[in-house]
Amino acid sequence: MADTTTHTEVVFRIRRFDPATDAAPHWEDYRLPDTPGMTVLEGLKQIKESQSPTLAWRSSCRMGVCGSCGMFINGRPRLACNTQVSELEASLVTVAPLPNFDIIRDLVPDLMPMIDAHAASHPYIIRDDVQEQQHPTGEYWQSMHQLEEYLQFSYCIKCGCCMAACPTYATDPQYAGPMPLGQAHRYNADSRDGGFTERRRVLAGERGPWKCHFAGECSQVCPKGVDPAKAIQLMKRALVLDYLHLWKQPCPAPVAKPLAGLKRREGIPEAPPRTIGVAGV
């Protein structure tokens, strides 16, 4: 049951591990005054400043955008910068590195297996018109409906919380995991992309979406509201239809024609002068 009483002090129970000196991880307690609005990340910084200068973790933006500070906080993968101590409704805050990854040190997990699987699935727009991509003459045409097909998946910040929550990835490191698969679907679902066949070479193998049990935990814990479980099911459907020759890769979106016959509204200022690509800048 949640502890709703007001506390003047909060205990941070942190899982520590230094590979140079420790044989195994262990827990250490640190006491801090409970200040309103304090995030777990701020708590960690206070501990590092005042009690344990050797404490290690990853963080950068402090506003839930960079995806660096994914941690296992009170039994759930969360972003430390995005989690206020008060919302945990407990006087004890347990902080551990994300499960399902090796530990580099203290709260720093080794995310390279996730990044490698992500890179292997070609997470970028693949098209044949190399000339247009290198020297664009305009934007690729895309409707709002087509944008909706992949928009939510593009909010992924690669924090690894979904990987830490995945029960399949916990037992089977051969499984690519929700982040790489979800991001592969993000590009497969993009109307500007034509790389389904190329990604299929990776995704249709043993590491592909087949191993997903649809537990849905990845979607539950995602701090950005992305639904990787849905992406994986949609990918399964696409691959099954592809095997049955019922899947037709649509032609990648063409370059949008310049708008003609439009007049500039009065009072709208000119765009600032171009700086990128200008010689000498």
Give the footprint of another protein on this chain (CB under 8 A).
Answer: 168, 171-175, 200-201, 204-206, 208, 210-211, 236, 239-240, 242-244
Q: Of 128 and 172, which has the nearer Cβ to another protein?
A: 172
3-state secondary structure (DSSP) of residue 3: coil
CB of 245 to another protein, least distance (A): 11
Q: Of 40 and 163, which has the nearer Cβ to another protein?
A: 163
CB of 217 to another protein, least distance (A): 16
Q: Of 133 and 174, which has the nearer Cβ to another protein?
A: 174
Q: Of 39 and 168, which has the nearer Cβ to another protein?
A: 168
Q: Of 33 and 173, which has the nearer Cβ to another protein?
A: 173
* 3-state secondary structure labels for all residues of 149-161: HHHHHHHCCCCCH
3-state secondary structure (DSSP) of residue 239: helix
CB of 271 to another protein, least distance (A): 48
CB of 239 to another protein, least distance (A): 5
- Sorted by sequence, the CB contacts under 8 Å of residue 55 that are 6+ apart come out as 14, 16, 44, 47, 48, 106, 107
Q: Of 147 and 240, which has the nearer Cβ to another protein?
A: 240
- N-terminal to C-terminal alpha carbon distance within the chain: 60
Q: Of 82 and 121, which has the nearer Cβ to another protein?
A: 121
Using alpha carbons, select from 32, 3, 20, 7 the residue that is nearest to residue 56. Answer: 20
Give CA–CA dist 120/117, Å, rounded. 5
CB of 203 to another protein, least distance (A): 8
- Sorted by sequence, the CB contacts under 8 Å of residue 2 that are 6+ apart come out as 89, 90
- Residues 177, 113, 81, 108: is their CA dihedral positive or negative? positive
For the chain, how long is the longest CA-to-CA vector? 72
CB of 100 to another protein, least distance (A): 13
- Sorted by sequence, the CB contacts under 8 Å of residue 84 that are 6+ apart come out as 37, 38, 39, 40
3-state secondary structure (DSSP) of residue 129: coil
CB of 246 to another protein, least distance (A): 11
Helix (H) or strand (E) holding 252: none
SS3 content of the chain, % helix, strand, coil (to 5): 35, 15, 50
